A and B are shown apart, each in its own frame.
Chain A
Amino acid sequence: MPMFKPLARPLPFFALWMLITLMLGLSLQARAAEDETLAQAGALLVQKFDQRADAVALLVERDHPRTQEILRLLQDGELYYRKDDDRLFVIKSAETGAEALDLLDGSAVTIEKKRDFKKVTLNNQMRNQISQALAEIGLKAEDPKRRAAAVRELLGALNEDTVSVLRNRIGNEPVAEVRELMVLALAIQDLEKGDEATRLQAIEQLDGSLEPPVRNALTALLGSDAADQVKRQAQLALNGIDEKIRYYGMLETLYFGLSLGSVLVLAGIGLAITFGVMGVINMAHGELIMLGAYTTYVIQQLMPNHIGASILVAIPAAFMVSALVGIAIERGVIRFLYGRPLETLLATFGISLVLQQAVRSIFSPLNRSVATPDWMSGLVEINPVFSLTLSRLYIILFCLLVFVALVVVLKRTPLGLQVRAVSQNRAMARAMGVRSKWVDALTFGLGSGVAGVAGVALSQLTNVGPNLGQSYIIDSFMVVVFGGVGNLWGTLVAGLSLGVANKVLEPWAGAVLAKILVLVFIILFIQKRPRGLFPQRGRAAEG
């Protein structure tokens, strides 16, 4: 065995033995220093915020091997200390009976009383300090996404150390996107510190970048004592960037408008059926939306471990709940009041109060918290100044889906045919053998069910509470009347265009005035065209 050969000769063996002893000694010494650092940091972490910040600085400065791990624990709120002896523990969930791992030696303890342990909490300065420190460590990360995030975090906040790290790594950086960010980061640095030539080169590199620190650095340069030539170039680059920002700002406004519009359409489209097709002024429409939102809450309580799937389950459930309540309202109250709009209005208003108070009694007057599933939260970042919020994107898509489904139901199914027949000429439809009362109940159920589905979407955007319905009833009527009573396409176009109009007005008129202006516009519009955007034609509409 060749491996044991050296052992046969005494001198190299001795040398090896010496070497091992020496290394062991050195590493022991290093271990001792590390342990001391950790102990020092630990003692600081259990004190007030200032000392905690010192502890983080200490770990980063001494480059302790567990720095990254401890910073992440702090960031995730999983580091606790025991009140009796100030020992630090890692706790995943602070529940009685759960396990607490000692930070230093990894031994496990069972939590007997929740109050014995206190979390090492952070404040905003510390959160910034930690994310900055993690970003500096993250520059060396394996994952290119994390490297990119680290460089972005450090844009405009470089110091001498990070500059030299970046300069060393930029040549070896395999991913183009990260490399570009690194170039940007260094160019911003050059802009602040460099001479005329480096500055001009930096401006060239920065030209067209939409990262906010770039714009700030250029603006700062204009106010500095740089040469005129540099300032001219900087101004040009800045103009280009502002141009782009304006363009994306318009796109953003459009997106905001469409997403507000899709909420209006969702809220109004159920009403387009009950009010538009059946002519029932249903003041309890908002409460049917509210019931849908509460159904989402209940479903989430029933399946707490599957929040992502719960929303999908909630959609049919909310449809059923609201539809059944709607049918009950129609059978119990509205059918006795057909052709008497004022009485219907008052009766349904009463029902809306009853539903609100019922919810208050069952669920308490406090708002309920509905969690947003992971797949719905976050951003689609198109560039640093323009990103689409995922939840809104899903709601726009969902709105279109509901719309298409309703159009198909009304145009392509026997039920739809009967609904249209009854709404156009009740007497004739009955003469042809359509059970008009049954159709009335189902139509009202359909409209109510769609309101419930809207409630699922709204539960992701706003409060789930007893007052949810009230805030949408006016908007719903506005959309339906503006779009033209009895026309689904009208509701879609009206909702989306009102949403966009509102968002276009909002930046310069303010939210309050924008809303007023939109209402005034609708009043004037209805004066001119009382039947809305897409009036229903034909004999039924005349009657």
Chain B
Amino acid sequence: MRTKASKSKLLLGSVSTLALSVSMNVAMAAEDTIKVGILHSLSGTMAISETTLKDTMLMLIEEQNKKGGLLGKQLEPVVVDPASNWPLFAEKARELIEKDKVDAVFGCWTSVSRKSVLPVFEELDSLLFYPVQYEGEESSKNVFYTGAAPNQQAVPAVDYLMNDLGVERWVLAGTDYVYPRTTNKILEAYLKSKGVAAEDIMINYTPFGHSDWQSIVSDIKKFGSEGKKTAVVSTINGDANVPFYKELGAQGVSAGDIPVVAFSVGEEELSGIDTAPLVGHLAAWNYFMSVDADVNDGFIDSWHSYIKNEDRVTNDPMEAHYIGFNMWVEAVKKAGSTDPAAVQDAIVGVSVPNLTGGYSTMMPNHHITKPVLIGEIQDDGQFEVVWETSGTVAGDAWSDYLEGSKDIISDWRAPLSCGNYNTKTGKCSGQNF
């Protein structure tokens, strides 16, 4: 869902393709291994987020191999570098499936990269586990969405602000692309359904990598000084957050006055920021590194010993890969085979432990159940959980608050086997996802 714009993206992409597309295939294929593809950018603008996920996958595979592998075979990771270049994602995906013959692929970060590989996975009927929160409105037979759908992140966050903090005015601030626009459309409809007047909602979009936030912060300050409790719901993408928070601090807007709840700021992003001006601002995720659970302590310990650095943090997409990988392992065991079609059938209903001390289940719409946590940023760059849902929330592929998608459901079990079924007309749309 998140993209980092580079102004010379195309040129950059094609040059870095030449320079960096050397795929890092690990060893030569032994006959009796199960191959797992890892499709994360290791160079270019997205390397900042995706490199960590590649390391997470390598760690998970190594641990599974120590436990004796899968179906009596060792797992073999195949790492490729799509270099933050969206068309290259599709090429690399095809290479993984056709040439390297992997049985499942874990990868992608931005929505545009997922949309780019989607036709490849559907054509070649393989499996993709996608670990990042996204805007919803999609359900593919071949994709498993282990990150949060809007109802597992944005909507509960707004509920918390409205009910617990008494927020009455809303600033929906986002970067100008598909994830913020769709999420804000859902949130706007949701807020209006809760009786919030149109003049109490301010929507603002900024370009990628926006670095001059003076006027916008000043507008937010004015909007928030009119007597009603105000909050900012931020879908501002990774890099632009730092100057935004810095400007909030510079203009003296504290979290007590106008809290900002962000959907794209996690531990990894905070590790590059001086967090002092951010203390008290909020983030909504399904996992925080600070969560007090034995399984989480164990995960953090093995991550630190794998990466050989005690200062590295863990974050939500890493947990999503942890869940997704274990689900795939369980489904393969259940099906007794790595054949994608068999795994697709077996994985629905599989439950594995998540890192917050509960269980996550794969739903028929290929989304999973997760708890929703709201955390406040602390001065050490960690989050302190201030609120959580009482149980887990099932991911909803098609938002209930959007015209045109509220009647649509997704169920990949027989006999429906459809990702886009309209309950009113009783038709499965021709669209595959």
Residues of A within 8 A of B (CB): 49, 77, 119, 121-125, 127-128, 131, 212-213, 215-216, 219-220, 252-253, 256, 259-260, 263, 349-350, 353, 357, 360, 365-372, 377-379, 385, 387, 389-392, 461-467, 470-471, 473-474, 502-503, 506-507, 510-512, 515
Contact = CB atoms under 8 A, between A and B. Distances in A.
Nearest to B374: A123
Interface in B24-69: 43, 45, 47-48, 51
Contact of A360 (B6, B47, B272, B273): B47
Nearest to B269: A367
A216 B222 CA distance: 12
Interface in B153-174: 164-165
Given A353-B19, A511-B215, 14 more contacts: A123-B376, A215-B226, A256-B212, A256-B215, A366-B268, A367-B239, A377-B249, A379-B252, A390-B250, A466-B48, A467-B6, A511-B207, A511-B216, A512-B207
Contacts of A391: 250
B383 to A, nearest CB: 10
Interface of B: 4, 6-8, 11-12, 15-16, 19, 43, 45, 47-48, 51, 164-165, 176, 204-207, 209-212, 214-216, 218-219, 222, 225-227, 239, 242-243, 246-247, 249-252, 255-256, 259, 268-269, 271-274, 280, 376, 378-379, 384, 386
Nearest to A76: B379
Given A216-B226, A357-B43, A387-B252, A467 B209 contact: yes
Contact of B251 (A389, A503, A506): A389
A375 B310 CA distance: 33
Contacts of A253: 215
A377 B8 contact: no
B207 A124 contact: no
Contacts of A121: 376, 378, 384
B165 A125 contact: yes
Nearest to B206: A511
B243 A252 contact: no
A371 B47 contact: no
B220 to A, nearest CB: 12
Contact of A365 (B7, B51, B209): B51
A372 B246 contact: yes
Contacts of B378: 77, 119, 121
Contacts of B6: 467, 470
Contacts of A503: 214-215
B48 A470 contact: no
A370 B239 contact: no
A484 B272 CA distance: 38
Kindly name the residue among A259, A379, A463 whose own CB sees the greatest number of chain B CB atoms within 10 A.
A463
Contacts of B19: 353
A212 B225 CA distance: 6
B288 to A, nearest CB: 13
Contacts of B255: 124, 127
9 contacts: A128-B256, A131-B256, A353-B16, A369-B274, A461-B243, A463-B242, A467-B6, A470-B6, A470-B8
B48 A465 contact: yes
Contacts of B274: 369-372
Nearest to B218: A252
Given A462-B211, A471-B209, A365 B251 contact: no
Contacts of B4: 467
Kindly name the residue among A122, A263, A365 whose own CB sees the greatest number of chain B CB atoms within 10 A.
A365
Nearest to A507: B215
Contacts of B280: 122-124, 127
A507 B214 CA distance: 11
Contact of B176 (A371, A378, A512): A512
Nearest to B216: A511
B256 A124 contact: yes
Nearest to B8: A470
A357 B20 CA distance: 10
Nearest to B246: A461
Contacts of A470: 6-8
A263 B212 contact: yes
Given A511-B205, A512-B206, A369 B272 contact: yes
Contacts of A463: 239, 242-243, 272
B249 A387 contact: no
| Closest 8 pairs between A and B when the two form their complex, measured CB to CB | A367-B272, A216-B227, A212-B225, A256-B214, A389-B250, A365-B47, A462-B211, A511-B206
